[in-house]
């Protein structure tokens, strides 16, 4: 079984904590790194290789969609899964290379499918 290093990014602390908790429960996930915004995520990504990023869309400053667009320029970009309360950005998400699009509140079985 593959053990994934995952970056979770959400500007709302309770949502980030829940995502972190749910990801850590998955056997496929070896490590979860948290970031409170896209800029912090970029700083982490300069030092660490991650397999997947679970990313909120609407955040102050750099949005999740903008971050995903930047990641596409990486030689080996992480898989991007959007985790959002907004169902109206799915087309935009897939246009920037998302592999999945999860709606809040998260359901464990849906998260398992994304992983």
pLDDT in tens, 27-77: 999 999 999 999 999 999 999 999 999 999 999 999 999 999 999 999 999
φ, ψ (nearest 5 deg) of residue 45: -70, -15
pLDDT at 2 over 80: no
**pLDDT at site 1:** 58
CB 9 within 8 Å of CB 35? yes
In b/e form, how buried is each residue of 12-34, taking b as 16+ CB within 10 angstroms? eeebbebbbebbeebeebeebbb
| Sign of the alpha-carbon torsion through 23, 50, 43, 86 | negative
Cis? peptide before 4, omega within 30° of 0? no
pLDDT in tens, 70-115: 999 999 999 999 999 989 999 999 999 999 999 999 999 999 999 9
Average pLDDT, integer, range 4-19 = 97
């Amino acid at each position: 079984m593959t053990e994934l290093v995952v970056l979770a990014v959400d500007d709302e602390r309770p949502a980030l904590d829940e995502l972190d908790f749910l990801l850590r429960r998955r056997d496929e996930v070896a490590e979860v790194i948290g970031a409170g915004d896209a800029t912090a995520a970029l700083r982490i990504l300069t030092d660490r290789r991650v397999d997947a990023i679970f990313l909120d869309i609407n955040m102050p400053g750099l949005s999740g969609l903008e971050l995903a667009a930047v990641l596409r320029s990486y030689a080996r970009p992480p898989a991007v899964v959007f985790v959002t309360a907004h169902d109206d950005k799915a087309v935009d998400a897939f246009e920037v290379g998302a592999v999945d699009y999860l709606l809040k509140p998260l359901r464990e079985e849906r998260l398992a499918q994304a992983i």
